[in-house]
Chain A
Amino acid sequence: MRKICLTLCLVYLIAANSEASDANSSLRLNFLISPKQEKFDAAPLSFQLQAKLVELFHRKEIYVIVAKSSEDMVKQITAILEKRNAMIGNIWFDSHGHFTRRRSLFEIGTEEFNFQSIRDTCFTMHLKKLAAYCDTNTNAGIGSCYGGATYTLPAIEEFPAQRMNGDSLMIELSELLNNATVYGCESFVLTGPGILRGSYAFAGNPWRRKFKDQVYAPVWEKLGEWNCYSGKKKKLEEPVTVSLQPNGKISTKKVNYLAFEKNKLKWIKKMQRLKNGNYNLAFLYQND
């Protein structure tokens, strides 16, 4: 009996040790990337403040990186990963989306990553270095408005109809990050209070009048919808609503934002009120 007990204890200890070593070798860290601001900008500032506050309580899991370029970002991330001998679990790129450029994109500092620039190996040489720390279990989130948009924007005045190509951006990013799973939003991404509480804080719409124009109709139609590209399965999955957990983990909500009756009624009301003339065409010409 004593022998059996001893063997069982030994087996348990060995198993526990091996589990611990496995967990240690695949230690996963979560990163929130935000651009360094030269001018005052409320949206990234709100994100950074909330992220830094959460970082205080989850010091060993979450890291907030404020970078001025992709090179700067990669330098900071690799230093942490090397020090902790870890892999990337979740990485979130907080950025503005630019509707006037009529394409899906995200920015790291001043560098713009869109479906074209992300294919440029010289341009992405720094970002590519992160592939060594990513695998199919890594989740990446494009936190810019219209970052994963797949619709075609209608023609307006002298500007022809143009596809946003967010799906191409997601696929390319997944390939760049060693087949990671990538999330990108079809619509607006808000940075109001509570974005790191696993709530629906990213979903919703901005209040400014310029967004209530017919130009934005395709964006409004997909309010709170996120696309997901799985690098493992090599396919785009069903649209979901994404949230960030307090430890920086990207998670999907079981119920979509517009499935709630209250949100749907508000959305219908606002869709009916969309009209031409609220958006200033000068913004489009400034990017021409």
Chain B
Amino acid sequence: MKPPIALLLIFLCGKLHAQETEEKIKPICTIHVTTMNENKMKGLLILTKDSVVAVYPGNHKQWNKGKKYNAVVFGFSRIKKVTIKKNNRVLKGISVGAVIGMLPALSKGFKDDKSGITQLTELTVPVGIVTGAIVGVSAQRTFMINGTGSLFYKFQKQVL
């Protein structure tokens, strides 16, 4: 009975290992790394582990096209400042803005006279969408690292 169980275990281990390697890496967010020499690199954050961040030196378009660039690894001692921009932030901004713009209509929704509300909604919804988009575009978080480990781990905790 023992040999088949051992074989099964080996087979399962192999399967699990295969799953691990086939796991597709997805960019976490857009990142701007400013080095201690004040040079800047824009890219996609693909990994942050221990004392390093791995950055794909391209944008989402290049990533989706499958352009293969070597990831650039930055140790915390090389990093002065990190700015991150979350994915889909514009879409989120637009949807939140649209919902806020519709609030007047939603709050007065059960009353009979709706003509004034309709006119108001026609104005507030586009304004909400535009404002949401602008807020979404400019939404970013900056972390000062200054080459110190403690600040880098704080950044790691907040990103993950």
Contacts and interface: CB of A to CB of B under 8 A. Distances in A.
Interface of A: 156-157, 215, 275-283, 285-286, 288
Contacts of B42: 280, 282
Nearest to A277: B40
A277 B70 CA distance: 21
B39 A282 contact: no
A39 to B, nearest CB: 13
B132 interface: no
A276 B58 contact: no
A285 B70 contact: yes
A285 B67 CA distance: 13
Given A277-B38, A285-B41, A288-B70, 15 more contacts: A156-B37, A276-B39, A277-B40, A280-B40, A280-B42, A281-B57, A281-B72, A282-B57, A282-B58, A283-B57, A285-B57, A285-B69, A285-B72, A286-B58, A286-B69
Interface string B68-79: 011010000000
A157 B37 contact: yes
Interface string B34-73: 1101111111000000000001011000000000011010
Contact of B38 (A276, A280, A283, A288): A276
B39 A281 contact: yes
B39 A277 contact: yes
20 contacts: A156-B39, A157-B37, A157-B39, A277-B34, A277-B40, A278-B40, A280-B40, A280-B41, A280-B42, A281-B39, A281-B40, A281-B41, A281-B72, A282-B58, A282-B72, A283-B57, A285-B57, A285-B69, A285-B72, A288-B69
A169 B38 CA distance: 33
Interface residues of B, number: 15
B16 to A, nearest CB: 34
A157 B43 CA distance: 16
A47 B43 CA distance: 33
Nearest to B35: A157
B65 to A, nearest CB: 13
Contacts of A281: 35, 39-41, 57, 72
Contacts of B69: 285-286, 288
B38 A282 contact: no
B37 A276 contact: yes
Contacts of A288: 69-70
Contacts of A156: 37, 39
B39 A286 contact: no
Contacts of B55: 282
A281 B42 CA distance: 7
Contacts of B39: 156-157, 215, 276-277, 279, 281
A283 B43 CA distance: 10
A282 B43 CA distance: 7
Contacts of B43: 282
A278 B32 CA distance: 12
Nearest to B38: A276
Contacts of B70: 285, 288
Nearest to B55: A282
B77 to A, nearest CB: 13
A280 B41 CA distance: 5
Contacts of B35: 157, 281
**Residue among B38, B39, B57 with the highest chain A CB neighbour number at 10 A:** B39
Contacts of A286: 57-58, 69
Top 4 closest pairs, chain A to chain B, by CB: A282-B57, A276-B38, A281-B41, A285-B57
